[in-house]
Structure formats: C-alpha cells, structure tokens
Chain A
Amino acid sequence: MLKIENLQANVADKPILKGLSLTINPGEIHAIMGPNGAGKSTLGYTLGGRPGYEVTGGSVDFAGQDLLELEPHERAAAGLFLGFQYPVEIPGVSFVQFLREAANAQRKGRGEEPLSGGEFLKLAKEKAGLLRMDMDMLKRPVNVGFSGGEKKRAEMVQMGILNPKLAILDETDSGLDIDALRICGEGINAIMRAPDKAVLLITHYQRLLDYVKPDFVHVLAAGRIVKSGGPDLALRLEEEGYEAVVQEAA
C-alpha cells in the first residue's frame, strides 16, 4: 500500500530525513518510535505534503500512485489521512460544515456522488459515538476551546468519517489521559483494523501500543530507520531507552 524508498527531505534547507525506507502492506499496523528530533513528525508532514517540507530524494508509492506528485487534497482523496500532533483551531468554521465539505470534496475527487446533509449527519453521529464524542461538540468551531484530549478524539472522528486507506497518526497519544488513550486506541482499531487498510503510528511511548497492537515496530534515529522488529521491540525500548537500542544498531 505504501512503499517509501530512500526518502530524503529538508526543512528550512536542513536535511531531516536522510534515506528512509519503509513498506506497509494492507492489513498492517506499523509503529515508528524514536527520540526527539529523529524526524518522526517530519515524516508525517512530508507524506501529507505540507508546504515547507521539501523532498530532495527518494520515492513514495501509495496504492500505485506517486504520492509526492500529489497536492495535499489529492493525497486525501487517494485515501491518506494525517492525524495531527497539534490539531489546528479554526475559529468560525464548524466541524460539521468542514467535514461535510471535506468528505464530499474527496468523493468528488474519486468520481462518487456527494453525501446529502442527512446521510452525512448519520455517518458523523456513528463515528462520534465510536469516540464517545457528543454531536454537539461537532457543531462547534473546529478544535476551538477543545482540550488536548478532545482534539485528539476529534481527529479520530474525522478519520472515521473520511474513511481512509492509510492513516498516519502523529503522536495521537500525546496529551491524552488514561481514559482518552483507551478510547482513542479502541477508535483506531474500530476504524482502521481491516484487511484493506493500514496504519502508521508515530509515537514516543509504548503505552498507545497496549491498545493498538502493531505488527511491526521501527526505530527512527537521525532521519533513518535504524532497527525494525515486532511488538516486543517497543517493550525493549521502553525498558532500555532509545540510546541503547540506537547505539546497538549503529
């Protein structure tokens, strides 16, 4: 589904990703862990197509398309979802209005019929329910006045509504209390655990992986994947720290 080969990217002319390769097949959940400054968020933003993240080498194939050739909205329509570490507040725009337009823009990009207001609300209600979020919250302006945990749950509701093939979730667990962590974890499983879908979790900590069991764990350090393994690698990192594992790999 996603094949990243030797990806190199700069931010403000500084090389951050220095030859990253990763293949994700349908049905798989991958976790990327790594110390601060390793390039984890840069990987997410580069795959999402954020302006300012300049690809200087390598390739990314997403479901048969050259991902790097696509604009951010085209990547979304192709089935990519980027969960933000810091979801952006947009005063004056309600979630419901924004998400309905977004869902229909994606459908249009794929040549599908738009959802009616009723159909959309039904879908939104169902997905909000998965994340135990009240529909009233989705009538409010996008992320404005939401707590850290509410913002992350709202990201997962968006993911549910937009129904992507691949979700890249950038530190979805940061800012969550124990209950919200469990709710988000269950939400990710309910929405994305499917034979034709895949998830790339970007995280510092093992704790989210207690709820969303990864098939593969990778360690990112200094812009490269230095070690890959199964779920036990995350536990080892938690015990021994990044430094030991990174040094051993070097």
Chain B
Amino acid sequence: MNVELALPTRRHEDFRYADIAALETVWPIVTEEIAVADGAEDSLQIVETGTGAVARHIAITLGKGAKFDLRVLTAGPAYGRIAVDVRLAEGADFTLGAAQLATAEETLEIVTEVTHAGLNATSEQIVRTVLAGKSVGTYLGRIAVERGADGTDAEQSVRAMLLERTATANARPELEIYADDVKAAHGCAVGELDAQGLFYLMSRGLTPPQAKRLMLQAFIAEAFTGAAGEEELSAAAIARLEAIL
C-alpha cells in the first residue's frame, strides 16, 4: 500500500488534477496495486455510478507477456477521478476502454501513465467523454517509452462530445520516447453531435432525446467493445445518458 500524504498543488510541475477542492474531500488516495505475473492475464472493471466524490489510483505492473484489460465507466459522481499507472515488461499488453459521462457541474477525469519498459509491448487506450451542462471532462494520457523498449506499439484514441457549449473538454496526450523503433499513434477530437444524423433519426420517428441517446450510445460503444462485462457497462451507460438528456 502506498499513500501520498501531501495534497498536490497547482505549482507542481507534474500537476495532473482537475479539481483540488474536490480532491481534498477524498485525500489521501490509497494506491491500489495490481501485479500480473509473466504470461498471465487479468482484467478489471470499474463502474462508478454513485453521486459522491470518488478518486482512485491504480498501479498495474505487467510481467513479460502479461495482459491486462481495464474498463472504466464514470457516470454520476460530482467529482470522479480514475488515475492509472501501468508498467509493461517485454511483450506485455494493456487495454484501457473508458467512458465518462457528466452533466451539471460535475468534473470527471481520467489520468494515465503508461510506461513501456521492455521490448515489443503494446498498449491501446480508448477514452470517450460525453459532457452536458457545465461539466468538465479531462483526459491526461502520458505514454513513456523507456530506453531500449523497441518494438513498442502504443495507441491512444480520445474523443469528447459536448452536448452544450457550456461544457468543457480537456485532452492532453503526452509522449516521452527514449527508444528508436516505436509506433505511437494518438488521435484526439472534441465535437458536437452531427445535426444531419439527428434529423435523419428524428425523421424516422425517434424523439430528440432518443435520437441523441442512440448516437451517443454508438459514440461510447468502442470503449466497451470486447469487454467481459460489455452488456453491463453499456446498460449502465445508457441509463446515465437517458438521465443526462
């Protein structure tokens, strides 16, 4: 168990927290450590649908050839922070599929640090954020490729959808690469629902909230594709989308 006692401040060079005031209410955060042995596979599904503040810090260490599948749905908390540190040894594979859905004054963030420490490790992160009202959704994703970690393949796909112009989306992908043979792809987009698509769906009889919900369901679906708990995650996400719309 690893507990950081001092609350971070905005002066920190490595400042990665969206809401210090809310953070104070859940501080200190106990790091949840997960180690996956060489060649082993594990997974974790995090569903935070309560309304209170929640902050979790998960540190995952993957042995040689180990695999980890992490799925996250944050949909409900006034402040919701999921921080994930992952360290991959040779040939390890890490998948993150995350969706965060917020409305009103909610602040949600996903903060990752994925370190490729060995040869030929692969990581893929898919993060989808839906923001209504005056909510704030943040993704900070750092990928570090250590010296000698050739053959690294690291992907980030980050998209946010603003349902109202009063909402704020932040996305900051960071790459720190100290190896030569590296594939690191990151895509990042913030957008609004396609008006043409909405009209098409409504012209067939869907009410405006139904049409939006269907398009948003499709928007976040990729984050849960292939998850063991795909249906459960989708159902929880749809319930929250219906409440937001």
> Which A residues fall within an 8 A CB radius of B?
48-51, 71-73, 75-77, 82, 84, 87-88, 90-93, 97-99, 101-103, 105-106, 109, 141, 158, 162
The answer to whether B217 touches A93, judged by C-beta atoms less than 8 angstroms apart, is: yes
* Alpha-carbon distance between A222 and B206 when the two chains are bound, in angstroms: 33
The answer to whether A73 touches B208, judged by C-beta atoms less than 8 angstroms apart, is: yes
Write the chain A residue with the least CB distance to B221. Answer: A92
A88 with B202, Cβ < 8 A, contacts A93-B217, A101-B214 known: no
Shortest B231–chain A CB gap in Å is 14
Known pairs A48-B199, A76-B203, A93-B214; list 8 more (Cβ under 8 Å).
A73-B206, A77-B205, A84-B203, A92-B218, A92-B219, A93-B215, A103-B205, A162-B204
> Which B residues fall within an 8 A CB radius of A?
194-197, 199-208, 210-211, 214-215, 217-219, 221-222
With beta carbons under 8 angstroms apart, the residue of B194, B200, B211, B215 that contacts A87 is B200
Q: Would you call the interface of chain B mostly helix, strand, loop, or mixed?
A: helix
Question: Which chain B residues border A87 with CB–CB below 8 Å?
Answer: 200
* A/B pair count, beta carbons within 8 Å: 73
The answer to whether A101 touches B206, judged by C-beta atoms less than 8 angstroms apart, is: yes
Q: Would you call the interface of chain A mostly helix, strand, loop, or mixed?
A: helix
* Alpha-carbon distance between A141 and B218 when the two chains are bound, in angstroms: 10
A71 with B210, Cβ < 8 A, contacts A90-B197, A90-B215, A93-B218 known: no
* Alpha-carbon distance between A77 and B210 when the two chains are bound, in angstroms: 14
* Alpha-carbon distance between A224 and B65 when the two chains are bound, in angstroms: 71
The answer to whether A98 touches B205, judged by C-beta atoms less than 8 angstroms apart, is: no
With beta carbons under 8 angstroms apart, the residue of B202, B217, B218 that contacts A71 is B202
Shortest A167–chain B CB gap in Å is 12
Question: Which chain B residues border A101 with CB–CB below 8 Å?
Answer: 206, 210, 214
Shortest B147–chain A CB gap in Å is 40
* Alpha-carbon distance between A88 and B221 when the two chains are bound, in angstroms: 19
The answer to whether B205 touches A109, judged by C-beta atoms less than 8 angstroms apart, is: yes
* Alpha-carbon distance between A102 and B208 when the two chains are bound, in angstroms: 11
With beta carbons under 8 angstroms apart, the residue of A49, A71, A99, A141 that contacts B204 is A99
* Alpha-carbon distance between A106 and B221 when the two chains are bound, in angstroms: 26
List, sorted by A's number, 17 A–B pairs whose CB atoms are closer than 8 Å: A48-B199, A49-B203, A51-B195, A71-B208, A72-B203, A73-B202, A75-B203, A87-B200, A90-B200, A90-B215, A91-B218, A93-B215, A93-B217, A93-B218, A102-B206, A105-B206, A109-B205
Question: Which chain B residues border A75 with CB–CB below 8 Å?
Answer: 203
The answer to whether B215 touches A105, judged by C-beta atoms less than 8 angstroms apart, is: no
A98 with B201, Cβ < 8 A, contacts A91-B218, A92-B218 known: yes
Shortest A96–chain B CB gap in Å is 12
The answer to whether B204 touches A84, judged by C-beta atoms less than 8 angstroms apart, is: no
A102 with B199, Cβ < 8 A, contacts A91-B218, A92-B218 known: no
Question: Which chain A residues border B200 with CB–CB below 8 Å?
Answer: 84, 87-88, 90
Shortest A103–chain B CB gap in Å is 7
The answer to whether A50 touches B204, judged by C-beta atoms less than 8 angstroms apart, is: no
* Alpha-carbon distance between A154 and B21 when the two chains are bound, in angstroms: 53
The answer to whether B204 touches A158, judged by C-beta atoms less than 8 angstroms apart, is: yes
Question: Which chain A residues border B204 with CB–CB below 8 Å?
Answer: 76, 98-99, 102, 158, 162
* Alpha-carbon distance between A179 and B200 when the two chains are bound, in angstroms: 26
The answer to whether A92 touches B222, judged by C-beta atoms less than 8 angstroms apart, is: yes
The answer to whether B205 touches A50, judged by C-beta atoms less than 8 angstroms apart, is: no
A72 with B202, Cβ < 8 A, contacts A90-B197, A101-B210 known: yes
* Alpha-carbon distance between A142 and B172 when the two chains are bound, in angstroms: 32
Shortest A44–chain B CB gap in Å is 10
The answer to whether A50 touches B217, judged by C-beta atoms less than 8 angstroms apart, is: no
